[in-house]
């Protein structure tokens, strides 16, 4: 029981690692996209600030009022070649914690062709070209959350449906929607269906990371297992040296990586992630 559970967990982890590789590939790929034509929509910065009522409007300063309605430009992509217009399904490919530069020509394209579906893909807020702020200060980052991202998806879904309706000169029509996601977007995909069952007919959550684990050391343990004993020992040795050097003279070790501007914890994350990615892309 215990070992089959452990196997299951490591399988999940492996799938997670694979998913991360799959996420990363389109970035390096180049000409493997169905489209890279950028489209833009206005997205609300904060989905949870209440709409200011007339009564409160008198109490609040005009500055706070204007904060409530801030918007930012969100990038998205559409591919309609396979769409069985006007009532064929729409497949929403959810993007995650990376720059989303187009719609890759992968299994979803095969499914879209088979089912006569339109493909659309909005970028995740704060990534790629969809950042509401130029500077990612702590203050500016407070609107970055999976909850805000879920509402971005819901607003996008409505916005795009209306644009389809306008294209086909109709109103109030709903195409059948399906959402797809891998890894973190897999979690978003599952949560989207849970939170907005009226906005999608179904959801595919591939390697969906729906369970948040604080201090997730199992991830690193799996990297160690996948790396093999020799490589694991080397990684541990390097980590130990960097830890020591950071304590005695943090500037000099960061300078070796031209990473002087990173905080120590971000720097350690960078190193650890580089190792993890290297191991799982072998
Ligand atoms: C759109 O629909 C309306 C109402 O049926 C019709 O009057 C109009 O001509 C249509 N426009 C186009 C561009 O098809
Ligand atoms: C995380 O877990 C490891 C292993 O159990 C432990 O050594 C470490 O102190 C923990 N760190 C934090 C920040 O909780």
Protein residue closest via CA to atom 14 of ligand 2: 215
User: What number does CATH give the domain 33-206?
Assistant: 3.40.50.1820
Q: Whole-prediction pTM value?
A: 0.76
- pLDDT confidence bin for 14, thresholds 50/70/90: very low
The pLDDT value given to residue 27: 41
From the CA of 218, the nearest ligand is 2
pLDDT of residue 54 exceeding 60, the answer is no
More confident residue, 69 or 246: 246
Atom of ligand 2 nearest to the CA of 214: 14
**Alpha helix positions (H), the chain:** 2-29, 54-59, 62-68, 107-115, 146-167, 184-195, 217-227, 229-256, 264-280
Q: Give pLDDT tens digits for 18-46.
A: 444 444 444 444 469 999 999 999 999 99
> Does ligand 2 lie within 6 Å of residue 213's CB atom?
no
Q: Quick one: pLDDT at residue 52?
A: 56
Alpha carbon nearest to ligand 2 atom 7, residue: 217
Q: How many residues does the chain have?
A: 282
Comparison of pLDDT for 216 and 94, the residue scoring more? 94
Give 120-144 pLDDT, tens digit per residue: 999 999 999 999 999 999 999 999 9
Residue 224 has φ and ψ, to the nearest 5°, of: -60, -45
* Alpha carbon of 259 to ligand 2 centroid (Å): 25
């Amino acid at each position: 029981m215990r070992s089959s559970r452990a196997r299951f967990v490591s399988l999940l982890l492996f799938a997670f690692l694979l998913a991360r590789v799959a996420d990363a590939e389109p970035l390096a790929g180049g000409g493997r996209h169905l489209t890279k034509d950028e489209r833009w929509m206005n997205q609300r910065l904060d989905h949870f600030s209440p709409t200011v009522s007339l009564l409160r409007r008198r109490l609040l300063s005009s500055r706070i009022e204007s904060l409530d309605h801030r918007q930012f430009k969100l990038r998205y992509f559409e591919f309609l070649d396979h769409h069985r217009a006007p009532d064929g399904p729409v497949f929403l490919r959810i993007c995650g914690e990376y720059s989303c530069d187009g719609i890759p020509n992968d299994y979803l394209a095969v499914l879209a062709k088979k089912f006569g579906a339109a493909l659309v893909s909005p970028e995740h807020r704060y990534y790629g070209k969809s950042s509401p702020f130029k500077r990612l200060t702590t203050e500016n980052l407070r609107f970055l959350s999976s909850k805000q991202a879920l509402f971005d998806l819901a607003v996008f879904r409505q916005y795009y449906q209306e644009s389809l309706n306008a294209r086909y000169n109709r109103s109030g029509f709903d195409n059948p929607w399906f959402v797809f996601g891998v890894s973190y977007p897999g979690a978003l995909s599952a949560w989207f269906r849970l939170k907005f069952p009226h906005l999608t007919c179904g959801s595919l959550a591939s390697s969906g990371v729906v369970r948040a684990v604080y201090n997730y050391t199992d991830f690193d343990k799996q990297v160690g297992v996948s790396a093999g004993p020799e490589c694991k020992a080397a990684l541990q040795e390097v980590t130990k040296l960097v830890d020591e050097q950071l304590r005695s003279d943090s500037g000099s070790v960061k300078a070796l990586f031209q990473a002087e501007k990173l905080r120590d914890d971000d720097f350690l994350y960078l190193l650890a992630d580089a190792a993890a990615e290297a191991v799982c892309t072998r």
